[in-house]
A and B are shown apart, each in its own frame.
Chain A
Amino acid sequence: MKILIAEDEPLMLRTIELKLRKDGYEVIGSPDGRDAMKRIEADKPDMIITDIMLPYSSGLEIVGRVKMSSGSGVPVIVLSSMGQEKTVEEAFSLGADDYITKPFSLSELSIRVKRLTKVIA
């Protein structure tokens, strides 16, 4: 299973990547929204985890694009910060499947990913 992570904090991105690789997933990391869009087109990931605040294109734009182009087949988890409740609502209205508020624990992220994997299967 291929997961794309869009996160602009390099160490955070690397840590999530490593954690999900340990869990047995194939992981693609993307440092900004524009790169994430390209990777989505090129690599066709099975799941996307995206931060809301990203350079060039926001997480919301990614959710919107993915849900429009793939007919909502690819699940999207949104990473938000405290106080971004309105943006999370917007992400859900665009078709996001789940969200995690920062700060979060990596095991929580792991569980959410597993849960969504089961839903796809």
Chain B
Amino acid sequence: MTPLATLSINVAGITAFYFPPIEGLLSSSANVITQERLYDTAIVFLIITALLVCATYIYLYLNKKAFFYKQRIRKQLDIWISKAILEELGEGNQEISIPSKFKRIVHHPIARQFVIDELVATKKGLTGAAASNIVQLYLQLDLRDGSIKKMDHKKWYVRARGIQELYVMEQSDMLLRIYRQTNSKNEFVRMEAQTGIVHLSGFKGLRFLDIVVYPITEWQQLKLLDQLSQVPFVQMKSLGKWLLSANPSVVLFALRIVETYQQFQVHDGVAACLHHELEPVRMQAVRTLASIAGDETADMLLEAFAKEKFTVKLCILDHLAVIATPLLLNPLYQLLDFPNDLIKLKAAKALASCSPEGMEALQKKAAMQPEPYQQIFLHVQSEIKA
């Protein structure tokens, strides 16, 4: 059948739905759809379309209803909540007075979640008496139970939300339950629990690194380091253990902690990470080692240089330039003969950082062998001047 013929039959079928079928248009050939079949198909599609339209309408209607309900609640609750937040609680007045009308409103699930969301968002931005009042309000409105229940929910985003509500509201007695979620299979639940545990117990909260077997993402590591920067430093006894963890992301994170908090006591543990099987860990070990460098660090890095891949070699030379001492003059001078030009350049920079003799040696090399050392010398010289 040609496409044109199909089209005419379809048109006839649709027309037939509204008007009596035009005899003769629907051929009796075996390849052509029968009139009854066409009717049935059209009816099925019509029902499906009607159902879809109804479902969309109901969905939009419920959403709209919830939106306007929230707007109505916002008008009623916002002013009262903000007044409650500013209430001054004294010795004899430990509770915020909550009008029964609001207690009733908060029983509605939408209103309840709305109030929690508002309180959580505001609590994040405030400290002092106002923040304490928000926690007090959260407890007095019995919102805590809901947050605890959420932690057992089968949907991951509800569990993550429950954890967030509990730690933002400083519910320290839930520490153990949150701790259990730090190794959750779900990435987002795990991240929220790790953030929560550090929020509630600072450096001590890092004990989750003992048990976590799933990867800690780069973003999460940055977030945790940022959180830690806001709490008083506490010595970490397990740092050495984390550097030996079977989870590479734990090793990476531990290395970053060592670098940030200059934990010299684990120098050897960091040096051992130079032999880690994963390149990102070795790269971070180089950075960390350079930040806590001792007398033997440069030798360790030079030893690693010989066995390393190109990218790690470059990283080592970059950091040798930072910790360079006159003792490195000879080995770095030898590296000027390395077959790769980028390595030559980086070695020249490190050599120049060792001592004034390093720069002199580079100048001499350039005079003896202008190609390519004259260019390298001028480049290093211009960088030093800058």
Residue ranges of A at the interface with B (Cβ–Cβ < 8 Å)? 9-12, 14-15, 17-19, 22, 79, 82-83, 102-108
A-B residue pairs in contact (CB < 8 Å), sample of 27: A9-B121, A9-B122, A10-B74, A11-B78, A11-B81, A11-B82, A11-B121, A12-B121, A12-B122, A12-B125, A12-B126, A14-B81, A14-B82, A15-B86, A15-B130, A17-B82, A18-B86, A22-B86, A82-B226, A103-B124, A103-B125, A104-B125, A104-B127, A105-B128, A105-B130, A105-B131, A106-B130
State whether A83 and B226 are in contact (beta carbons under 8 Å apart), knowing that A15-B82, A15-B85, A103-B131 are contacts in the complex. Answer: yes
For A16, give the chain B residue with the smallest CB separation.
Answer: B82
Give per-residue flags for B164-194: 1 if the beta carbon is below 8 A from chain A beta carbons, else 0.
0000000000000000000000000000000
Q: B230 near A: Cβ within 8 Å?
A: yes
Q: What residues on A are CB-neighbors of B234 within 8 Å?
A: none
State whether A106 and B79 are in contact (beta carbons under 8 Å apart), knowing that A11-B122, A18-B86, A82-B226 are contacts in the complex. Answer: no
For B226, give the chain A residue with the smallest CB separation.
Answer: A83
Q: B118 near A: Cβ within 8 Å?
A: yes
Tell which of A11, A22, A103, A107 has the most Cβ of chain B within 10 Å: A11
For B229, give the chain A residue with the smallest CB separation.
Answer: A82
Give the B interface residue count (CB, 8 A): 23
Report A9 CB to chain B, min CB distance, Å.
5
In the complex, besides A9-B122, A82-B230, A105-B131, 12 extra interface pairs with C-beta distance below 8 angstroms are: A9-B121, A12-B121, A14-B78, A14-B82, A15-B126, A18-B79, A18-B83, A19-B86, A83-B226, A103-B124, A105-B128, A108-B128
Q: B119 near A: Cβ within 8 Å?
A: yes
State whether A107 and B81 are in contact (beta carbons under 8 Å apart), knowing that A10-B118, A15-B86, A22-B86 are contacts in the complex. Answer: no
Q: What residues on B are CB-neighbors of A9 within 8 Å?
A: 121-122, 125
How far is A18 from B81 in the complex, measured between Cα atoms in Å?
A: 11
How far is A11 from B119 in the complex, measured between Cα atoms in Å?
A: 8
For B78, give the chain A residue with the smallest CB separation.
Answer: A14
Report B169 CB to chain A, min CB distance, Å.
13
Give per-residue flags for B144-181: 1 if the beta carbon is below 8 A from chain A beta carbons, else 0.
00000000000000000000000000000000000000
Contact of A14 (CB < 8 Å), options: B79, B125, B128, B229: B79
Report A103 CB to chain B, min CB distance, Å.
4
For B118, give the chain A residue with the smallest CB separation.
Answer: A11
Report A51 CB to chain B, min CB distance, Å.
9
Report B232 CB to chain A, min CB distance, Å.
15
**B86-137 at interface with A (beta carbon < 8 Å):** 86, 118-119, 121-122, 124-131
Q: What residues on B are CB-neighbors of A18 within 8 Å?
A: 79, 82-83, 86
Q: What residues on A are CB-neighbors of B131 within 8 Å?
A: 103, 105
Q: What residues on A are CB-neighbors of B126 within 8 Å?
A: 12, 15, 102-106
Report B105 CB to chain A, min CB distance, Å.
15
How far is A19 from B88 in the complex, measured between Cα atoms in Å?
A: 12
Q: What residues on B are CB-neighbors of A108 within 8 Å?
A: 128
How far is A11 from B125 in the complex, measured between Cα atoms in Å?
A: 11
Report A89 CB to chain B, min CB distance, Å.
17
How far is A19 from B126 in the complex, measured between Cα atoms in Å?
A: 13
Q: What residues on B are CB-neighbors of A15 within 8 Å?
A: 82, 85-86, 122, 126, 130
Cβ B86 vs Cβ A102 within 8 A: no
Cβ B125 vs Cβ A102 within 8 A: yes
Q: What residues on B are CB-neighbors of A103 within 8 Å?
A: 124-127, 131
Q: What residues on A are CB-neighbors of B229 within 8 Å?
A: 82
Cβ A105 vs Cβ B129 within 8 A: yes
For B121, give the chain A residue with the smallest CB separation.
Answer: A9
Q: What residues on A are CB-neighbors of B118 within 8 Å?
A: 10-11
Q: What residues on A are CB-neighbors of B124 within 8 Å?
A: 102-103
For B230, give the chain A residue with the smallest CB separation.
Answer: A82
For B83, give the chain A residue with the smallest CB separation.
Answer: A18
How far is A19 from B81 in the complex, measured between Cα atoms in Å?
A: 13
How far is A15 from B128 in the complex, measured between Cα atoms in Å?
A: 14
How far is A14 from B130 in the complex, measured between Cα atoms in Å?
A: 13
Q: What residues on B are CB-neighbors of A83 within 8 Å?
A: 226
How far is A107 from B133 in the complex, measured between Cα atoms in Å?
A: 14
For A19, give the chain B residue with the smallest CB separation.
Answer: B86
How far is A11 from B124 in the complex, measured between Cα atoms in Å?
A: 12
Report A20 CB to chain B, min CB distance, Å.
11
Report B318 CB to chain A, min CB distance, Å.
24
**B58-93 at interface with A (beta carbon < 8 Å):** 74, 78-79, 81-83, 85-86
